[in-house]
Structures are given as C-alpha cells and as structure tokens.
Structure 1
Amino acid sequence: MRALVLTADRRLELAERDRPQPKAPRDVLVRVVQTGICGTDRSVLVGKFAAEPGVIMGHEAVGEVAEIGPDVTDLAIGDRVIVNPTLYCGRCIRCLRGQTNFCHRKTGNEIGIDRDGSYAEYILLEDRFLHRIPDGVSYDRAVLTEPLACVLNNLDSAGLTPGEPVTVIGAGPIGLVCAVAARHLGSPVTLIERDDFRRDQARELMKEFFPSDVTVVGADPADRPDRAPTVVDTVGNQLDTALDLADDVGTVVAMGYDSRAEATVRPLEILQRQLRIVGAGDYRGPHFPRAVEMAARLPLERLVTHRFPLERHEEAFAALAASNGSGYSALKVVLQSAEDAQ
C-alpha cells in the first residue's frame, strides 16, 4: 500500500509499505478514505512536537471496514467507520480511574506518532477503537469527530456551565470546532482571530451555524472583548492573553500544542483573582462516542476547504501555512487515500 512516512529530517515521504493483516481475533482492517491534517501533524514537521522517524503519520481518519477478525461482531465488511486514535489498554491504574488518555501503555501506541497511522491506504485497529458513522453523515463531517472529542474534553475540564460566555482564541479548525461546540451547548461565544482570511471565514460560518450569540473579532486592542468566565487558547502560545481575558474566578484552558511556547505567570494574580489554569490534553474514552453523536447534528463539513491526494501532501501542508506575510488560505485540509471521499 502507499503511505506517508516520517523521515529522520522531519519530512513526509510517499513510500510503499506492506498492507497490515488482521492477526488478533478482534482486529479490523480499515480502508482509509481520508484523514484530516491536525495541527499536531504540522507541529511534528516543523519541530514543535516529537514523533518516531519511520512512522506512518495521520490520525483523524475515516474509512470503510475491509477485513475483520473472527471475534468482531459489532462491525461488518463495508461499514463506514471513524477511527478513535487515542488507544488505551483499559487495565492500568490510569485507565481504571477513567483517565484513558494517560494510559500507562501509551508509549508505542500513539497513532501517527509512534505507531503507524492513517496517511495510508489501510490501517489496522482493534474493533473497540472504531465507531460506525451514523446514516446520512458524510465523510467530510465525520472526519471532524476526533477534533470535536478533543474540544469536548477541554470544555468539560473547564467546568463549563452552559449559558456562561466563552472566549476562544484562534479561529483555525480546532478553534472553530471549539466555538461551534460551546455555542451548541448553550454558551455565547467570542472568537478572536488575527488573520484576515480565517476571521472572515469564521464570520461566515458562524452566521450559517448560529443566528446569534457568536461574535468574531480581531486581535487588536480596540477589538478586545469583555472578560469571560472561560477562555480557551487553541493556538498554544497565548496563555498570557488568555489570563488577561479571563474574568475573576474564571478558568483558562491551555489547549493548543506548541512545545516552544513559554509564558510568565504571576502567582499573586492567580491567587487574588482566583483563576484556574487547566491543561486537559486530548480526550478520554467516553468523549468519543459523545462526539460521534454530536457531530451528526453539526454541519462540520463546512470547515473543510481543501482536499489533496496522498501524493500531493506537500501542497496540502503548504495550504495550512501562513507564509510570506500573506496569511492563511485554508481551514481544514484533508488528505485522501481513496477516491470516494466526502
């Protein structure tokens, strides 16, 4: 099969790999249709996040069941499925406490990081990490399920009270999903984005999704919104700004990934204003089926602006970069492993 493999110098290379074969009784071979490019993937390529050289990257995948092991009873060949890429053993102390995203056996099992992922024509997984796509839901909508699961975990960790205002920093794909989810849960949302293209796209999309209670602003001081009880930094390097935008007794969620980012925090301000800073990571096992159900009711496919086949992966990642001072030109970009996407 064809696959995009990470090289030692942090490039993606199209290579031929053996198609994985089901061996365990509950193994399922999935023919990958398409995979969303995650900000983490791009962070790997620019040196902000570590991954194992030689691994097949990609994890936000949807596809079709191609083969099943003898003990698989809930899936059938031909079923359309969404991949849950945050694997866990279910037996270690973290898993038994419900903290499956911190499974002690995570090393070697992070899809697209140190275990082969979905920038390929096939991926092999245990059946419990596959969810059937609801009838009537397109691949383009389903491919946003994994980002939605991440968002739900972060909003839950913030202790979000539906109806209370939320400020989201960054209107990239994850910021838009965060805004959509928070508004769907009943909260008025302010979305902050400094890039003209993404800000304009956000305004159009939010008007289409919700008739009221979503405000999209720039990052200039003149655009500064009122303080909010919950502020989510989906960029990964805006903690200082997020703390400044949080209301007293508020919560700041550090969600975006950026290993190079640093921030200065004044403990006395945290104490006197009774602020909470929360880091939630990706998501726990129960968030994924919840995200599958919620995604079926949200037009998330509108976030997909670009599609590329595997062999045009360099163009796909270039579309996500803000280069030469010209800003962004894309929201969600997907890599297609098969022709029957969408």
Structure 2
Amino acid sequence: MNAISLIDKQKLELIDYNCLDIFPADGVEIDVVLSGICGTDLAVLAGREEGQTGIIRGHEAVGVIVNVGKDVTHLRAGMRVVVDPNEYCGSCEPCRSAKTHLCKGGANSGLDIAGINKHGAFAKRFITRERFVYCLPDDMNWETGVLIEPVACILNNIDQASIQAGERVLLLGSGPMSLVAQLVLRAMGVTTLATDLNTYRIEFGRSLDLDVIHPDELELRMHHQNNVDAAIDTVGNQMGTAIQFVRRGGRILLFGFDGNYHYPLPVKHFLVNAISIIAAGEYNQHFPRALRMAGMLPELGKLVTQRYELEDYSAAFDSLLNDPSVATIKSVFTPNPKYI
C-alpha cells in the first residue's frame, strides 16, 4: 500500500509499505479516512525539529475498522473511530502512576508516538491496539474527528496552566492549533486575543467570531487593556512578545515547536513578577474528554480547508512550507476517499 515516509532529513517519499507483518491479539486494523498534517510535520521538513528517518509520518487520524484481533472486546469491523497516537506501555513506573505521558517503556525507552517514532497514519491502513482507539459519535463528521488529537493537546496545556473561565489569554500565532485552542477556550468562558501575519488566517478567525489581529496592532490594542492572565506561544519563537503582555503572576505557555529558537531568560523579571513558564509536554489520558469537548464545538470541523490524496504529498507540503500567504487552515490527506 502507499504511505508517506521520512526517508532522510527533511525529505519525504511515497513508499510501498506492508503493515500486516505483525498483528497483535489486541490489534485493530483501520482504513484511514483523514490524516491531518500537523505543525510538527512541517517543523521537521523545515529543519526546525529532528525527525526519525524511516518512519511513516502522520499522528492525527480517523478511519473505519476493517479487522480486529482475537482479544479485542469492544470494537468491531465497520466502526468509525479516531486514533490516539500516544501508545504508552501501561506497565512502567510512570504509567502505573497514571502519568502515561511520561512513559519510559516504549521501544525507544520513552513514549511510543505513531507518526513520530513509530509508523503512523500517512498511509491507506494503520494498525494499533484496542486501548488507543475510540469510537466517533454517529453525529460527528470526519473533519471534527480528525481534530480530536489537537483538542487533547490543547486541553493538556489548559490544565497545566490552570486557565479558568473569566480569564484573558493571548495566543501568539493563529494557525490550526491556535484556532482549535481559541474555540476550546471560548467554550470554557475564556476571553481570547490572537495574532497572525497571514491575512487569510486573520480573516478566517474573524469569520468564526474570534478576535484575531495582525501583530503590528498588538501593542496599541494592549495599551488600552490590562495585561493578560496567560500568553500561549503557538509559533515556538515568541517568548519575547509573550513576556511583554502577561500580567504579574501570569503564565507563559510554550506550545509551538522551533528547535532552533533560543531566548535569553531575564530571570530576575520572572522572579520579581512571579511569572510562570509552563511546558505541558504530551497529553495524559485526555482523549475521552477531548471527544466530549469536540462535540460541543460546531465550528471545529470548518478548520479542515484542504484535502490531498497521498500521491499529492509533494504539492501539499510545498504549498504549506513555501507559500506564507497560502489560503488554508488545516490540510489533511484522504487515503481512502471512498468513505467520504
């Protein structure tokens, strides 16, 4: 079958891959319907992050079950499902302490993540295990379902930062993850303000009644308001901006990925102003809650604006990486169009 693999640093290729070599007793084989292109994938191809070569990428996926192992009890062929890519071992000390996001029992002595350090879902079929598969509600469309994993990421960060209803949050960058965050936060009663350089993203956010502005407008806007309770850097290189606009006793969340970014930390400023820096890491058992939250966000599926077949991977990534004005929010692959 066709699959998209990272064959070298910053280089993808469409390969022929057989996923049926190993099928565990608790295995679940899935026809992938949508698989989302994540900012992490783009960071690897742009050289801002390391990527493990030889790995089929793709960690946001929904699909239809086509086969289950003999020990599977709650799932059956034909079910519409979403995949949790964070495959914790369940037996190491962190897992036994309900800290599955810190798992150290995987193949690489850490958390196994489909599409990151083990084969993922940029493929026609994907095999995982029963405990990492969740049924989609009958009334949830594929587009909403493929964003369950991003919602789980957002909920983890909200939890770690203890963001509460009535607070104000500044989001630096308004890409797909930021827009997911803005929708989730709004549903929680949090007031958001977001920035972006991309005119299309600004207008798209505003079409959802979100408050999104160009960064050049931020200083003037904040001049007439109190500093925010929390600032979220969804780009990965915005600490300098975040520190300007977060209140005393506030929080800065590190969310975006840019391994090349370094920031000289003004330690005294953080100490005197009691500002917390929060790096939430991977989510921990957030999928059931993310499913419930997604069902409360009717606009969520609208974020999927571009669809590509696996064979068009080069055009997809060329557009996302090389055209800063590209008119898209969330791009996905459609490995099995027959289900759409």
TM-score range, shorter chain: over 0.9
Partner of 2:198: 195
Q: Return the offset for 1:330.
A: 1.3
Counterparts of 1:316 and 1:235, CA distance in 2: 20
Determine whether 1:337 maps to 2:335.
yes
Q: Return the offset for 1:107.
A: 4.8
Question: Alignment partner for residue 139 of structure 2, among 113, 136, 143?
Answer: 136
The question of whether the paired residues in 1 share the 8 Å contact of 2:205 and 2:211 is answered with no
Query: Residues 268, 341 of structure 1: CA spacing in aligned structure 2 closer, same or farther, 3 A cutoff?
Result: farther
Determine whether 1:252 maps to 2:252.
yes
The question of whether the paired residues in 1 share the 8 Å contact of 2:9 and 2:51 is answered with no
Fraction of identical pairs, as percent:
34
Q: Return the offset for 1:341.
A: 5.2
C-alpha RMSD of matched pairs (Å): 1.5
Q: Return the offset for 1:223.
A: 4.2
Provide the secondary structure at the position in 2 that maps to 1:320.
Answer: helix
Q: Return the offset for 1:178.
A: 0.7
Q: Return the offset for 1:327.
A: 2.4
Q: Return the offset for 1:10.
A: 2.5
Scaled by the length of structure 1, the TM-score of the pair is 0.93
The question of whether the paired residues in 2 share the 8 Å contact of 1:254 and 1:279 is answered with yes
The question of whether the paired residues in 2 share the 8 Å contact of 1:22 and 1:29 is answered with no
Q: Return the offset for 1:302.
A: 0.6
Q: Return the offset for 1:192.
A: 1.4
Letter in 1 for 2:234: T
Alignment coverage as a number of residue pairs: 332
Q: Return the offset for 1:189.
A: 0.9
Provide the secondary structure at the position in 2 that maps to 1:318.
Answer: helix
Counterparts of 1:228 and 1:341, CA distance in 2: 44
Provide the secondary structure at the position in 2 that maps to 1:229.
Answer: strand
Determine whether 1:51 maps to 2:51.
yes
Q: Return the offset for 1:322.
A: 5.0
Counterparts of 2:256 and 2:93, CA distance in 1: 27
Counterparts of 2:80 and 2:303, CA distance in 1: 21
Q: Return the offset for 1:24.
A: 2.1
The question of whether the paired residues in 2 share the 8 Å contact of 1:235 and 1:255 is answered with yes
The question of whether the paired residues in 1 share the 8 Å contact of 2:46 and 2:321 is answered with no
> Which sections of structure 1, spanning at least 5 residues, go unmatched?
208-213
> Which sections of structure 2, spanning at least 5 residues, go unmatched?
none
Counterparts of 2:156 and 2:90, CA distance in 1: 18
Deviates more, 1:97-106 or 1:262-271: 97-106
Partner of 1:104: 104
Post-superposition CA distance 1:94-131 (Å, at most 9, x none): 22232211211245422112211000011111100000
Letter in 1 for 2:180: V
Determine whether 1:160 maps to 2:155.
no
Counterparts of 2:190 and 2:102, CA distance in 1: 29
Q: Return the offset for 1:224.
A: 4.0
Counterparts of 1:317 and 1:231, CA distance in 2: 29
Provide the secondary structure at the position in 2 that maps to 1:7.
Answer: strand
Letter in 2 for 1:60: E
Counterparts of 1:101 and 1:194, CA distance in 2: 33
Counterparts of 1:319 and 1:338, CA distance in 2: 22
Q: Return the offset for 1:59.
A: 0.7
Provide the secondary structure at the position in 2 that maps to 1:112.
Answer: coil
Scaled by the length of structure 2, the TM-score of the pair is 0.94
Query: Residues 223, 85 of structure 1: CA spacing in aligned structure 2 closer, same or farther, 3 A cutoff?
Result: farther
Partner of 2:211: 215
Provide the secondary structure at the position in 2 that maps to 1:124.
Answer: strand
Determine whether 1:74 maps to 2:81.
no
Letter in 2 for 1:198: R
